[in-house]
Amino acid sequence: MRPIANSNLLRSLIVTASGVLAVALIGAQTAFAASWNGIEPFKSTREDVIRILGKPIGESTDGVLRFNVMGGTVQVSFVSDNFMKAKKLRPELVGTVLEIVLQHENSSDTPVTMKLLDNKAFVRDETKTTTIFRNLKDGLVYTFMDDKLKSTRYTFADSQLGRARR
Protein backbone atom coordinates (compact mmCIF):
# COMPACT_ATOMS: atom_id res chain seq x y z
CA MET A 1 0.00 0.00 0.00
CA ARG A 2 1.35 3.41 -0.95
CA PRO A 3 1.45 6.14 1.78
CA ILE A 4 -0.33 9.38 1.06
CA ALA A 5 2.27 11.80 -0.22
CA ASN A 6 0.77 14.98 1.16
CA SER A 7 -1.14 14.98 4.44
CA ASN A 8 -2.09 18.64 3.87
CA LEU A 9 -3.89 17.61 0.69
CA LEU A 10 -5.80 14.89 2.57
CA ARG A 11 -6.68 17.32 5.38
CA SER A 12 -7.87 19.88 2.83
CA LEU A 13 -10.10 17.31 1.10
CA ILE A 14 -11.64 16.21 4.40
CA VAL A 15 -12.36 19.79 5.49
CA THR A 16 -13.89 20.63 2.09
CA ALA A 17 -16.08 17.51 2.09
CA SER A 18 -17.24 18.23 5.66
CA GLY A 19 -18.12 21.80 4.71
CA VAL A 20 -20.13 20.72 1.67
CA LEU A 21 -22.02 18.17 3.79
CA ALA A 22 -22.78 20.75 6.51
CA VAL A 23 -24.11 23.27 3.99
CA ALA A 24 -26.29 20.58 2.38
CA LEU A 25 -27.74 19.51 5.73
CA ILE A 26 -28.41 23.08 6.88
CA GLY A 27 -30.05 23.91 3.56
CA ALA A 28 -32.25 20.82 3.79
CA GLN A 29 -33.31 21.76 7.32
CA THR A 30 -34.39 25.29 6.49
CA ALA A 31 -36.14 24.45 3.23
CA PHE A 32 -39.19 22.83 4.82
CA ALA A 33 -41.89 23.91 7.22
CA ALA A 34 -42.69 21.96 10.33
CA SER A 35 -44.80 18.96 9.34
CA TRP A 36 -46.90 16.65 11.45
CA ASN A 37 -47.83 13.05 10.71
CA GLY A 38 -46.81 13.47 7.06
CA ILE A 39 -48.94 16.60 6.61
CA GLU A 40 -46.97 19.67 5.50
CA PRO A 41 -48.13 23.28 5.00
CA PHE A 42 -48.18 24.54 1.38
CA LYS A 43 -47.71 20.95 0.12
CA SER A 44 -50.38 18.60 1.48
CA THR A 45 -53.94 18.84 0.14
CA ARG A 46 -57.35 18.22 1.72
CA GLU A 47 -57.33 14.77 0.11
CA ASP A 48 -53.91 14.02 1.64
CA VAL A 49 -55.17 15.06 5.09
CA ILE A 50 -58.28 12.86 4.88
CA ARG A 51 -56.22 9.93 3.56
CA ILE A 52 -53.80 10.26 6.51
CA LEU A 53 -56.25 11.10 9.33
CA GLY A 54 -59.47 9.47 8.14
CA LYS A 55 -62.94 10.94 8.25
CA PRO A 56 -63.11 14.31 10.05
CA ILE A 57 -65.40 14.68 13.07
CA GLY A 58 -66.38 18.12 11.84
CA GLU A 59 -65.81 20.93 9.37
CA SER A 60 -66.27 24.64 9.97
CA THR A 61 -67.98 26.99 7.52
CA ASP A 62 -64.55 28.20 6.36
CA GLY A 63 -63.37 24.65 5.59
CA VAL A 64 -61.30 23.87 8.69
CA LEU A 65 -61.33 20.10 9.27
CA ARG A 66 -61.34 18.67 12.81
CA PHE A 67 -60.17 15.19 13.78
CA ASN A 68 -59.87 13.14 16.96
CA VAL A 69 -56.31 11.94 17.49
CA MET A 70 -54.56 10.17 20.33
CA GLY A 71 -54.12 12.69 23.14
CA GLY A 72 -56.54 15.32 21.83
CA THR A 73 -57.83 16.83 18.64
CA VAL A 74 -56.32 18.36 15.53
CA GLN A 75 -57.66 21.12 13.31
CA VAL A 76 -56.33 21.56 9.78
CA SER A 77 -56.95 24.77 7.86
CA PHE A 78 -56.29 25.37 4.17
CA VAL A 79 -55.08 28.22 1.99
CA SER A 80 -58.13 30.15 0.79
CA ASP A 81 -58.53 32.48 -2.20
CA ASN A 82 -58.58 35.45 0.17
CA PHE A 83 -55.36 34.38 1.93
CA MET A 84 -53.68 33.74 -1.43
CA LYS A 85 -54.61 37.24 -2.65
CA ALA A 86 -53.71 39.00 0.62
CA LYS A 87 -50.27 37.35 0.81
CA LYS A 88 -49.75 37.50 -2.99
CA LEU A 89 -49.18 33.74 -3.19
CA ARG A 90 -49.14 31.57 -6.28
CA PRO A 91 -52.73 30.48 -7.14
CA GLU A 92 -51.84 26.76 -7.15
CA LEU A 93 -51.40 26.93 -3.35
CA VAL A 94 -55.15 27.43 -2.81
CA GLY A 95 -56.46 24.28 -1.13
CA THR A 96 -53.14 23.21 0.36
CA VAL A 97 -52.66 23.00 4.13
CA LEU A 98 -52.11 26.38 5.80
CA GLU A 99 -51.90 25.33 9.43
CA ILE A 100 -52.19 22.28 11.67
CA VAL A 101 -53.25 22.89 15.27
CA LEU A 102 -53.00 20.08 17.82
CA GLN A 103 -55.00 20.55 21.02
CA HIS A 104 -53.39 18.43 23.75
CA GLU A 105 -55.87 17.21 26.38
CA ASN A 106 -53.61 15.77 29.09
CA SER A 107 -50.03 16.43 28.05
CA SER A 108 -47.32 16.16 30.67
CA ASP A 109 -44.86 18.09 28.47
CA THR A 110 -43.47 21.30 29.92
CA PRO A 111 -41.05 23.91 28.57
CA VAL A 112 -38.35 22.19 30.64
CA THR A 113 -39.00 18.65 29.36
CA MET A 114 -39.10 19.97 25.78
CA LYS A 115 -35.83 21.88 26.35
CA LEU A 116 -37.35 25.16 25.17
CA LEU A 117 -36.10 27.48 27.92
CA ASP A 118 -32.57 27.80 26.49
CA ASN A 119 -33.43 27.11 22.85
CA LYS A 120 -32.42 30.26 20.92
CA ALA A 121 -34.53 29.24 17.91
CA PHE A 122 -37.70 30.11 19.87
CA VAL A 123 -39.01 33.51 20.95
CA ARG A 124 -40.80 33.37 24.31
CA ASP A 125 -43.93 35.39 25.23
CA GLU A 126 -45.56 35.18 28.66
CA THR A 127 -48.70 36.25 30.46
CA LYS A 128 -49.76 35.28 33.97
CA THR A 129 -50.80 31.72 33.06
CA THR A 130 -49.77 31.29 29.42
CA THR A 131 -46.34 30.90 27.82
CA ILE A 132 -45.88 30.79 24.06
CA PHE A 133 -42.71 29.65 22.29
CA ARG A 134 -42.54 30.70 18.62
CA ASN A 135 -40.12 29.57 15.94
CA LEU A 136 -41.39 31.35 12.84
CA LYS A 137 -38.33 30.36 10.84
CA ASP A 138 -39.51 26.74 11.01
CA GLY A 139 -43.26 27.42 11.40
CA LEU A 140 -43.67 25.97 14.90
CA VAL A 141 -45.53 27.43 17.91
CA TYR A 142 -46.03 25.81 21.34
CA THR A 143 -48.60 27.15 23.83
CA PHE A 144 -48.39 26.22 27.51
CA MET A 145 -50.99 26.97 30.20
CA ASP A 146 -49.81 26.63 33.79
CA ASP A 147 -46.62 25.05 32.39
CA LYS A 148 -48.47 22.22 30.57
CA LEU A 149 -48.48 21.91 26.79
CA LYS A 150 -51.94 22.83 25.49
CA SER A 151 -51.41 23.32 21.76
CA THR A 152 -48.86 22.87 19.01
CA ARG A 153 -49.18 24.82 15.76
CA TYR A 154 -47.46 23.74 12.58
CA THR A 155 -47.50 26.32 9.83
CA PHE A 156 -45.40 27.48 6.90
CA ALA A 157 -41.76 28.44 7.42
CA ASP A 158 -40.59 31.98 6.67
CA SER A 159 -38.49 30.67 3.78
CA GLN A 160 -41.51 28.84 2.32
CA LEU A 161 -43.61 32.02 2.33
CA GLY A 162 -40.98 33.84 0.30
CA ARG A 163 -40.85 31.04 -2.29
CA ALA A 164 -44.66 30.80 -2.40
CA ARG A 165 -45.09 34.38 -3.53
CA ARG A 166 -45.73 35.24 -7.16
- Residues 4-63 have pLDDT tens digits of 555 554 444 444 444 433 333 334 334 456 789 999 999 999 999 999 999 999 999 999
Please count the other Cβ atoms lying within 10 Å of the Cβ belonging to residue 26: 10
Return d(Cα 101, Cα 154) in angstroms, integer. Answer: 6
Segments forming the whole domain that contains residue 59: 32-164
83 in any annotated domain: yes
Please count the other Cβ atoms lying within 10 Å of the Cβ belonging to residue 76: 27
21 in any annotated domain: no
137 in any annotated domain: yes
160 in any annotated domain: yes
154 in any annotated domain: yes
pTM of the model: 0.77
| The total number of structural domains that make up the chain | 1
16 in any annotated domain: no
